[in-house]
Protein backbone atom coordinates (compact mmCIF):
# COMPACT_ATOMS: atom_id res chain seq x y z
CA UNK A 1 0.00 0.00 0.00
CA UNK A 2 1.18 3.52 -0.76
CA UNK A 3 0.30 6.39 1.57
CA UNK A 4 0.57 10.02 0.53
CA UNK A 5 0.85 12.19 3.61
CA UNK A 6 0.01 15.89 3.42
CA UNK A 7 1.50 17.86 6.30
CA UNK A 8 -0.09 21.26 6.79
CA UNK A 9 1.75 24.50 7.36
CA UNK A 10 -0.45 26.02 10.08
CA UNK A 11 1.33 27.37 13.15
CA UNK A 12 -0.58 24.93 15.36
CA UNK A 13 0.71 21.89 13.45
CA UNK A 14 3.76 20.08 14.88
CA UNK A 15 5.14 17.62 12.30
CA UNK A 16 7.26 15.61 14.77
CA UNK A 17 4.64 12.93 15.48
CA UNK A 18 3.79 12.54 11.81
CA UNK A 19 7.43 12.10 10.85
CA UNK A 20 7.89 9.43 13.54
CA UNK A 21 4.90 7.61 12.04
CA UNK A 22 6.43 7.88 8.56
CA UNK A 23 9.55 6.20 9.93
CA UNK A 24 7.42 3.42 11.45
CA UNK A 25 5.50 2.82 8.21
CA UNK A 26 8.70 2.76 6.16
CA UNK A 27 10.29 0.31 8.61
CA UNK A 28 7.28 -1.96 7.99
CA UNK A 29 7.95 -1.88 4.25
CA UNK A 30 5.19 0.61 3.37
CA UNK A 31 5.68 3.18 0.61
CA UNK A 32 5.16 6.75 1.78
CA UNK A 33 5.30 10.05 -0.09
CA UNK A 34 5.26 13.21 2.01
CA UNK A 35 3.77 16.38 0.51
CA UNK A 36 3.94 19.65 2.42
CA UNK A 37 2.88 23.24 2.18
CA UNK A 38 4.10 26.24 4.10
CA UNK A 39 1.82 29.18 3.49
CA UNK A 40 2.19 30.41 7.07
CA UNK A 41 5.98 30.46 6.79
CA UNK A 42 5.72 32.37 3.51
CA UNK A 43 3.48 34.98 5.17
CA UNK A 44 5.89 35.28 8.10
CA UNK A 45 8.81 35.80 5.73
CA UNK A 46 6.94 38.40 3.69
CA UNK A 47 6.06 40.30 6.86
CA UNK A 48 9.69 40.09 8.06
CA UNK A 49 10.65 41.71 4.75
CA UNK A 50 8.11 44.47 5.33
CA UNK A 51 5.63 43.19 2.76
CA UNK A 52 2.00 42.11 3.05
CA UNK A 53 0.62 38.85 1.63
CA UNK A 54 -2.34 39.26 -0.73
CA UNK A 55 -5.42 37.07 -0.51
CA UNK A 56 -8.34 37.21 -2.94
CA UNK A 57 -11.81 35.69 -3.16
CA UNK A 58 -12.88 33.84 -6.30
CA UNK A 59 -16.40 34.09 -7.76
CA UNK A 60 -16.98 30.62 -6.29
CA UNK A 61 -16.37 32.00 -2.80
CA UNK A 62 -12.97 30.35 -2.28
CA UNK A 63 -10.34 32.53 -0.61
CA UNK A 64 -6.80 31.97 -1.85
CA UNK A 65 -3.44 33.61 -2.17
CA UNK A 66 -2.57 35.90 -5.05
CA UNK A 67 1.04 35.12 -5.91
CA UNK A 68 2.78 38.04 -7.57
CA UNK A 69 6.40 37.87 -8.75
CA UNK A 70 7.88 38.95 -5.41
CA UNK A 71 5.75 36.49 -3.45
CA UNK A 72 6.86 33.74 -5.85
CA UNK A 73 10.49 34.51 -5.05
CA UNK A 74 9.72 34.10 -1.35
CA UNK A 75 7.91 30.81 -2.04
CA UNK A 76 11.00 29.48 -3.79
CA UNK A 77 13.17 30.47 -0.84
CA UNK A 78 10.91 29.17 1.91
CA UNK A 79 9.27 25.97 0.64
CA UNK A 80 11.93 24.03 -1.31
CA UNK A 81 14.76 26.02 0.26
CA UNK A 82 13.94 25.94 3.97
CA UNK A 83 10.91 23.80 4.87
CA UNK A 84 11.60 20.93 2.48
CA UNK A 85 15.21 20.74 3.68
CA UNK A 86 14.09 20.76 7.32
CA UNK A 87 11.58 17.92 6.81
CA UNK A 88 14.04 15.87 4.78
CA UNK A 89 16.69 16.36 7.47
CA UNK A 90 14.23 15.37 10.20
CA UNK A 91 13.29 12.18 8.35
CA UNK A 92 16.97 11.30 7.85
CA UNK A 93 17.38 11.64 11.62
CA UNK A 94 14.49 9.17 11.99
CA UNK A 95 16.38 6.67 9.82
CA UNK A 96 14.31 7.37 6.69
CA UNK A 97 16.26 7.82 3.45
CA UNK A 98 14.25 10.85 2.34
CA UNK A 99 14.73 12.77 -0.91
CA UNK A 100 13.50 16.36 -1.11
CA UNK A 101 11.88 17.46 -4.38
CA UNK A 102 10.08 20.54 -5.59
CA UNK A 103 7.49 20.12 -8.30
CA UNK A 104 9.98 21.57 -10.76
CA UNK A 105 12.44 18.71 -10.21
CA UNK A 106 11.96 16.06 -12.87
CA UNK A 107 8.56 17.62 -13.72
CA UNK A 108 7.14 16.01 -10.61
CA UNK A 109 4.24 18.49 -10.69
CA UNK A 110 3.28 20.33 -13.87
CA UNK A 111 0.39 21.98 -15.66
CA UNK A 112 -0.62 25.27 -17.24
CA UNK A 113 0.35 28.54 -15.63
CA UNK A 114 -2.35 31.04 -14.64
CA UNK A 115 -1.23 34.61 -15.21
CA UNK A 116 -4.65 36.10 -14.50
CA UNK A 117 -7.46 35.03 -12.18
CA UNK A 118 -11.07 36.05 -11.75
CA UNK A 119 -11.68 37.59 -8.34
CA UNK A 120 -14.42 39.40 -6.44
CA UNK A 121 -13.52 42.80 -4.99
CA UNK A 122 -16.09 45.05 -3.32
CA UNK A 123 -18.83 42.79 -4.67
CA UNK A 124 -17.65 43.12 -8.28
CA UNK A 125 -16.06 40.46 -10.48
CA UNK A 126 -12.68 41.51 -11.83
CA UNK A 127 -9.65 40.10 -13.64
CA UNK A 128 -6.45 40.34 -11.59
CA UNK A 129 -3.28 39.97 -13.65
CA UNK A 130 0.32 39.11 -12.79
CA UNK A 131 -0.47 35.89 -10.96
CA UNK A 132 2.16 33.16 -10.65
CA UNK A 133 0.04 30.07 -10.02
CA UNK A 134 -1.21 27.03 -11.85
CA UNK A 135 -3.35 23.94 -11.72
CA UNK A 136 -1.51 20.63 -11.57
CA UNK A 137 -2.58 18.36 -14.41
CA UNK A 138 0.42 16.01 -14.61
CA UNK A 139 2.41 14.12 -12.00
CA UNK A 140 5.64 12.30 -12.85
CA UNK A 141 4.54 9.08 -11.16
CA UNK A 142 7.41 7.18 -12.84
CA UNK A 143 9.98 9.26 -10.94
CA UNK A 144 8.19 8.85 -7.62
CA UNK A 145 7.72 5.10 -8.15
CA UNK A 146 11.39 4.75 -9.11
CA UNK A 147 12.43 6.43 -5.85
CA UNK A 148 10.02 4.29 -3.83
CA UNK A 149 11.30 1.13 -5.51
CA UNK A 150 14.81 2.18 -4.49
CA UNK A 151 13.62 2.51 -0.86
CA UNK A 152 13.75 6.30 -0.88
CA UNK A 153 10.95 8.41 0.62
CA UNK A 154 10.08 11.42 -1.55
CA UNK A 155 9.31 14.71 0.22
CA UNK A 156 7.49 16.89 -2.31
CA UNK A 157 6.53 20.55 -2.27
CA UNK A 158 5.53 23.31 -4.67
CA UNK A 159 6.40 25.25 -6.82
CA UNK A 160 5.06 23.36 -9.79
CA UNK A 161 6.30 23.71 -13.36
CA UNK A 162 3.85 26.00 -15.13
CA UNK A 163 3.61 25.78 -18.91
CA UNK A 164 3.32 29.18 -20.58
CA UNK A 165 0.87 29.72 -23.43
CA UNK A 166 3.75 31.12 -25.49
CA UNK A 167 5.94 28.08 -24.77
CA UNK A 168 8.48 27.31 -22.08
CA UNK A 169 7.98 26.94 -18.34
CA UNK A 170 7.85 29.08 -15.22
CA UNK A 171 7.99 27.92 -11.61
CA UNK A 172 4.61 28.87 -10.11
CA UNK A 173 2.61 28.35 -6.94
CA UNK A 174 -0.07 25.67 -6.49
CA UNK A 175 -2.27 24.70 -3.58
CA UNK A 176 -0.44 22.11 -1.47
CA UNK A 177 -3.61 20.14 -0.61
CA UNK A 178 -4.41 19.79 -4.29
CA UNK A 179 -0.78 18.90 -5.01
CA UNK A 180 -1.06 16.06 -2.51
CA UNK A 181 -4.35 15.04 -4.12
CA UNK A 182 -2.73 14.91 -7.55
CA UNK A 183 0.12 12.76 -6.23
CA UNK A 184 -2.26 10.39 -4.42
CA UNK A 185 -4.39 10.01 -7.53
CA UNK A 186 -1.38 9.34 -9.74
CA UNK A 187 -0.10 6.64 -7.36
CA UNK A 188 -3.54 5.08 -6.58
CA UNK A 189 -2.68 5.75 -2.96
CA UNK A 190 -4.42 6.52 0.30
CA UNK A 191 -4.24 10.26 1.01
CA UNK A 192 -3.87 11.34 4.63
CA UNK A 193 -4.33 15.09 5.13
CA UNK A 194 -3.11 16.26 8.53
CA UNK A 195 -4.35 19.55 9.85
CA UNK A 196 -4.94 21.33 13.18
CA UNK A 197 -8.43 19.92 13.86
CA UNK A 198 -9.60 16.31 14.49
CA UNK A 199 -11.22 16.03 11.05
CA UNK A 200 -14.29 17.51 9.41
CA UNK A 201 -16.79 18.71 12.01
CA UNK A 202 -20.50 19.35 11.53
CA UNK A 203 -20.07 22.19 14.02
CA UNK A 204 -16.56 23.69 13.76
CA UNK A 205 -16.79 24.75 17.42
CA UNK A 206 -17.64 21.27 18.71
CA UNK A 207 -15.15 18.43 18.28
CA UNK A 208 -17.81 15.90 19.30
CA UNK A 209 -19.52 16.51 15.94
CA UNK A 210 -16.73 14.81 13.99
CA UNK A 211 -17.98 13.22 10.76
CA UNK A 212 -16.22 9.87 10.86
CA UNK A 213 -17.04 8.45 7.43
CA UNK A 214 -18.49 9.37 4.06
CA UNK A 215 -19.00 6.38 1.78
CA UNK A 216 -21.93 7.56 -0.34
CA UNK A 217 -22.98 10.83 -2.04
CA UNK A 218 -25.20 11.79 0.92
CA UNK A 219 -22.24 11.49 3.25
CA UNK A 220 -20.09 13.60 0.96
CA UNK A 221 -22.85 16.22 0.75
CA UNK A 222 -22.89 16.40 4.55
CA UNK A 223 -19.13 16.97 4.53
CA UNK A 224 -19.34 19.66 1.87
CA UNK A 225 -22.08 21.46 3.81
CA UNK A 226 -20.02 21.31 7.00
CA UNK A 227 -16.71 22.45 5.49
CA UNK A 228 -15.91 26.13 5.76
CA UNK A 229 -12.83 28.31 5.57
CA UNK A 230 -9.60 26.41 4.95
CA UNK A 231 -11.46 23.09 5.13
CA UNK A 232 -13.31 23.91 1.88
CA UNK A 233 -10.11 23.45 -0.12
CA UNK A 234 -9.29 20.23 1.67
CA UNK A 235 -12.66 18.75 0.71
CA UNK A 236 -12.15 19.96 -2.88
CA UNK A 237 -8.74 18.27 -2.86
CA UNK A 238 -10.24 15.07 -1.44
CA UNK A 239 -12.75 14.89 -4.30
CA UNK A 240 -9.99 15.46 -6.86
CA UNK A 241 -7.81 12.73 -5.33
CA UNK A 242 -10.64 10.19 -5.38
CA UNK A 243 -11.66 11.15 -8.92
CA UNK A 244 -8.07 10.65 -10.07
CA UNK A 245 -7.69 7.18 -8.54
CA UNK A 246 -6.88 7.51 -4.83
CA UNK A 247 -8.18 4.65 -2.68
CA UNK A 248 -9.37 6.79 0.22
CA UNK A 249 -8.86 10.22 1.76
CA UNK A 250 -8.49 10.76 5.49
CA UNK A 251 -8.57 14.20 7.14
CA UNK A 252 -7.12 13.96 10.64
CA UNK A 253 -5.42 15.75 13.52
CA UNK A 254 -1.69 16.35 13.07
CA UNK A 255 -1.27 16.77 16.82
CA UNK A 256 -2.92 13.50 17.84
CA UNK A 257 -0.81 10.74 19.34
CA UNK A 258 0.63 8.76 16.41
CA UNK A 259 -1.33 10.95 13.98
CA UNK A 260 -0.69 9.01 10.76
CA UNK A 261 -1.00 5.55 12.27
CA UNK A 262 -4.22 6.49 14.06
CA UNK A 263 -5.61 8.09 10.88
CA UNK A 264 -5.09 5.00 8.73
CA UNK A 265 -6.49 2.90 11.59
CA UNK A 266 -9.83 4.71 11.61
CA UNK A 267 -9.22 8.12 13.19
CA UNK A 268 -10.33 11.41 11.66
CA UNK A 269 -12.76 11.68 8.74
CA UNK A 270 -12.59 8.94 6.10
CA UNK A 271 -13.93 9.65 2.61
CA UNK A 272 -14.28 6.69 0.25
CA UNK A 273 -14.29 6.74 -3.54
CA UNK A 274 -17.87 5.43 -3.40
CA UNK A 275 -18.90 8.83 -1.96
CA UNK A 276 -18.45 10.48 -5.35
CA UNK A 277 -21.66 10.90 -7.32
CA UNK A 278 -21.33 9.22 -10.71
CA UNK A 279 -22.66 12.10 -12.76
CA UNK A 280 -21.54 15.00 -14.91
CA UNK A 281 -22.80 17.70 -12.58
CA UNK A 282 -19.53 18.30 -10.76
CA UNK A 283 -18.82 21.90 -9.86
CA UNK A 284 -16.42 23.75 -12.17
CA UNK A 285 -12.90 24.65 -11.17
CA UNK A 286 -13.13 27.25 -8.42
CA UNK A 287 -10.16 29.24 -9.63
CA UNK A 288 -10.60 30.07 -13.29
CA UNK A 289 -8.08 31.28 -15.80
CA UNK A 290 -8.64 33.91 -18.38
In three-state form (DSSP H/G/I as H, E/B as E, the rest C), the secondary structure along 172-231 is: EECCHHHHHHHHHHHCCCEEEEEECCCCCECCCCCHHHECCEECCHHHHHHHHHHCCCHH
Q: Is residue 58 part of a domain?
A: no
Q: Is the Cβ–Cβ distance between 73 and 130 less than 8 Å?
A: no
Q: How far is CA 48 from CA 28, 32, 51, 72, in A?
A: 42, 34, 7, 16
pLDDT for 252 beyond 70? yes
Rounded to 5 degrees, φ, ψ at 172 are -135, 165
Percentages helix, strand, coil for the chain (3-state, rounded to 5) are 35, 30, 35
pLDDT over 90 for what percent of the chain?
83
CATH at 16: 3.40.1160.10
Instruction: Identify the CA nearest to 113 among candidates 76, 166, 39.
Output: 166
What pLDDT is attached to residue 1? 84
Neighbours of 59 (CB within 10 A): 14
What residue numbers does the annotated binding site for substrate cover? 65, 173
Minimum mean pLDDT range among 32-41, 110-119, 270-279: 270-279
> What's the pLDDT band for 46 if we cut at 50, 70, 90?
very high
What pLDDT is attached to residue 283? 43
Q: Is residue 87 part of a domain?
A: yes
Domain extent for 236: 2-42+71-108+140-276
Q: Is residue 51 part of a domain?
A: no
pLDDT for 223 beyond 50? yes
Q: Is the Cβ–Cβ distance between 273 and 286 less than 8 Å?
A: no
What pLDDT is attached to residue 12? 63
Q: Is the Cβ–Cβ distance between 174 and 134 less than 8 Å?
A: yes
In the chain, the number of structural domains is: 1
What pLDDT is attached to residue 11? 67
Q: Is residue 122 part of a domain?
A: no
What pLDDT is attached to residue 28? 96
Q: Is residue 281 part of a domain?
A: no
Count H helices, E strands: the chain? 9, 15
> What's the pLDDT band for 278 if we cut at 50, 70, 90?
low
Please list the alpha-helical segments (H only) found in the chain.
16-27, 39-48, 69-76, 84-93, 141-149, 176-186, 217-226, 230-244, 259-264
Q: Which residue has better confidence, 97 or 279?
A: 97
Q: What rounded mean pLDDT belongs to the chain?
A: 92
**Strand, coil or helix: what is 193?**
strand
Residue 15 belongs to what H/E stretch?
none
Q: Is residue 131 part of a domain?
A: no
Rounded to 5 degrees, φ, ψ at 197 are -130, 165
Q: Is the Cβ–Cβ distance between 45 and 78 less than 8 Å?
A: yes
Residue 157 CA to residue 180 CA, distance in Å, equals 9
Q: Which residue has better confidence, 165 or 11?
A: 165
Q: Is residue 82 part of a domain?
A: yes
pLDDT for 134 beyond 50? yes
Instruction: Identify the CA nearest to 72 among candidates 165, 182, 180, 158.
Output: 158
The contacts of residue 96 (CB under 8 Å, 6+ apart) are: 19, 22, 23, 26, 153
Minimum mean pLDDT range among 47-51, 59-63, 273-277: 59-63
The contacts of residue 239 (CB under 8 Å, 6+ apart) are: 220, 276, 282
What residue numbers does the annotated binding site cover? 65, 173
Neighbours of 233 (CB within 10 A): 19
Neighbours of 49 (CB within 10 A): 9
Q: Is residue 147 part of a domain?
A: yes
Amino acid sequence: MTTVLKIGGARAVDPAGALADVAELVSQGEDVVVVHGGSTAVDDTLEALGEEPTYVETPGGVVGRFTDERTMEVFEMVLPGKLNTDLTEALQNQGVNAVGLSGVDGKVLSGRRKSAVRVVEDGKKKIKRGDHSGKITDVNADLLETLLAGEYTPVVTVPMLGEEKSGGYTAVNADADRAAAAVAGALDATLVVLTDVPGILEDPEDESTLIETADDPAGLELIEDAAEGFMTKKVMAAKEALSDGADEVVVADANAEEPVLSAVDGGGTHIAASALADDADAEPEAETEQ
